[in-house]
Chain A
Amino acid sequence: MRILRVDMESLQVQWEPVSEAYEYLGGRALIAKLLLDEIPATCDALGPHNKLIFTPGLLGGAGVTTAGRLSIGAKSPLTGGVKEANAGGTAGDTLAKFGIKAIVVENQPKNENFYILRVTHNAADFFDANHLRGLGTYATSEKLQKQYGEDYTVISIGQAGEYLLSGAGIACTGEKDQKSNHAARGGLGAVMGSKGLKAIIVDKAKAGALSFADADLFRTASKRFAGEIIENPKLGPKGGTHLYGTSAITGAVNEMGSLPTRNFSLGSFEGSISLRGEHLRETILERNGQIGKRCMPGCVIACRNSYVDEAGEPIVGTVQFETIALVGSNLGLENLDDVARLNYMCNDFGLDTIETGAALGVAIEAGLAEFGDFESISALLRQIGEGTVLGRLIGSGAVVTGRVLGIRRIPAVLGQAMPGYDPRSLKGNGVTYATSPQGADHTAGNAFGARNQVNPLGVEGQKELSLNLQIVAAMLDCTGLCLFARPPIIADAQLMVDMVNGIYGWDLTQEDLDRLYRDVLRNEIEFNRRAGITALDYRIPEYMREEPLPPHNTVFDVPESELDTIFEAL
């Protein structure tokens, strides 16, 4: 495999062989190691010394179900630390089939121009992108696919990335007309904008098939892996994740008192019935929209939907739980059509719906709009795309918005907004928010699925639970697996060993892979330490330790001493 180095200052590319140090790494593991090795941790995240890395996971391109995710990483302008976010779509698989272990984007243009990077199986070159300036991600990908061909995968930023806003993410196209898979978190879209890179286009028609070092070993393991997902009562064709998408959990999170409501002031939303997965499914099917779509080729879970209006016209694909929580209940909105429209605007501007929803909640608390009022909320959101001063403020995330507007209740850790689980009533997630080197991020270790192991409202066992979940999350993120796909690997770690060894001809053991997963966290923790991040930066906001959250009237009370020692067992 090769690494493609892209120099945005000279507009030159260089192909280099993968050194021994990176041979066994992919996705988040490779990002963590490259950041540690090559980036001054104290550098300006939007300056020339930061690097933006695109990398498939170790299983990418091999046809393993749910394993085609593309990891994108850099030093985060939002947290000041390490950041990896990943997305579905077709880029991850295609890069792996090209034999590209990573694209590393370095330096910055000497001028104010924006560029397109085209990547094929054996070449990479640049095009001027100034005609795309000011366009959202939908129009950008449509224009590029019209110009270069429908077979091109487009990775792009919208206006938010061009404005270098810390709430900006990166959009990736998928199969057929799918435009909106987002590596949303941590402001990576701003890093892409700072590199003068409007889009990367990848010629997936040129992707051949991988050759396997031990095809029998691989196929036996990958077939069993897919079979176990299909048989899983949560994930298979009769499972809630397929039938209702990620929004299957909306009712449960609300019932458990953890659903962010009106800027995280309540854990249960009186209008949640119309935000539930059950209602979403019924609405979409009544209107001839689509349920059970996939975001990656070959995914057997298929949790995406295509949300349509009353006339059957598409509003957005897809409406997911986190968006429902952050731009729905968190903003007091109970109409899924409203949520879908805000979702579309965020996608188009190239914004993280979690960060933006949290920032809007803070702005509403400051009196700039009204909870439950779609018109005033959408007017605020629209300003981000327009690039007004207020829009740029909100697009910079919840912390900046709160500080400028004088709001003390900011639901964020390490500068990053919390996702759709209030940590006061799902305390395992609170531990993850308060310790993960990624900041407040449910994908770094989500305790919702472990509610039967550890009481979500209790303190005992949360530290150990979160650490285990963070290691599992590292496994998913460095192999390119969707986070829903963890059950078969947790049940039998040898499955992953056999798939990886079968692809590459390695002789790794379960212990080797476990060390690799743990090294992801070790490298990230070290990067953040070098960046000057201390334990104080990871703290859960003080108000969440002091102000009880209805309906359970609990606070986040896991002792700081527990949080500060979580990685001693790593």
Chain B
Amino acid sequence: MMALDVELFGQLADGSLRRQSLTLETPLPVSEVVALLGVNPEEVGLITIDGVQSSMEDEVPLTCRLCFFPPMSGG
């Protein structure tokens, strides 16, 4: 079975699993995966799919690494 490797960084993981495996039956937009995870989309500052910056509208492949980060500044 193909699965997503999903990771929540920083404060996004407060009260939920930091890293989990998720299986999708069909590709979904990032926004729907966010809803599945119970993450508030307004608290997401960066999304990466296999390390590439992505948006809520992008489609999540059935197999990939999907990461969500809170808002961040470089310092």
Contacts and interface: CB of A to CB of B under 8 A. Distances in A.
A256 B67 CA distance: 10
Contacts of A442: 74
Interface string B31-75: 000000000000101101001110000000000000101111111
Contacts of B67: 251-252, 255
B29 interface: no
A522 to B, nearest CB: 25
A425 to B, nearest CB: 8
Contact of A240 (B11, B51, B52): B11
A421 B74 CA distance: 10
B6 to A, nearest CB: 12
Contact of A243 (B10, B43, B75): B10
Contacts of B70: 233-234, 239-240
Interface in A434-453: 442, 446-449, 451-452
B10 A244 contact: yes
A252 B75 contact: no
A246 interface: yes
Given A233-B70, A244-B10, A249 B51 contact: no
B73 A484 contact: yes
A564 interface: no
Contacts of B11: 238, 240, 243
Contacts of A238: 11
Interface string A208-238: 0000000000000000000000000111001
Contact of B10 (A248, A483, A551): A248
B13 to A, nearest CB: 8
A251 B12 CA distance: 13
Given A238-B11, A240-B10, A240-B11, A248 B53 contact: no
A320 B75 CA distance: 9
B75 A240 contact: no
A252 B51 contact: no
A241 B73 contact: yes
A239 B46 contact: no
A255 B48 contact: yes
Interface residues of A, number: 39
Given A252-B46, A255-B67, A457 B52 contact: yes
A283 interface: no
A293 interface: no
Given A278-B9, A278-B10, A451-B46, A256 B53 contact: yes
A382 interface: no
B53 A240 contact: no
Contacts of B73: 234-235, 241, 249, 448-449, 484
A562 B63 CA distance: 38
B10 A256 contact: no
A277 B73 CA distance: 13
Given A244-B10, A277-B10, A278-B10, A449 B74 contact: yes
Contacts of A248: 10, 72
A449 B71 CA distance: 9
B19 to A, nearest CB: 9
Contact of B74 (A233, A244, A249, A276): A249
A240 B10 CA distance: 7
Among A278, A421, A457, A483: residue with most chain B CB under 10 A: A278
Nearest to A267: B51
A90 interface: no
Contacts of A529: none
Contacts of A484: 73, 75
A455 interface: yes
B15 to A, nearest CB: 13
A399 interface: no
A244 B71 CA distance: 12
A26 to B, nearest CB: 22
A330 interface: no
Contacts of A98: none
A30 interface: no
B75 to A, nearest CB: 4
B52 A249 contact: no
Given A239-B70, A240-B11, A484-B75, 19 more contacts: A233-B45, A234-B70, A240-B70, A246-B75, A252-B46, A252-B67, A252-B69, A252-B72, A255-B67, A255-B69, A256-B48, A421-B74, A446-B74, A449-B72, A452-B53, A456-B53, A457-B52, A484-B73, A551-B51
10 contacts: A233-B71, A234-B73, A240-B10, A240-B70, A249-B75, A256-B51, A278-B9, A321-B75, A449-B73, A551-B51
Q: Closest 4 A-B residue pairs measured CB to CB?
A: A448-B74, A246-B75, A446-B74, A234-B71
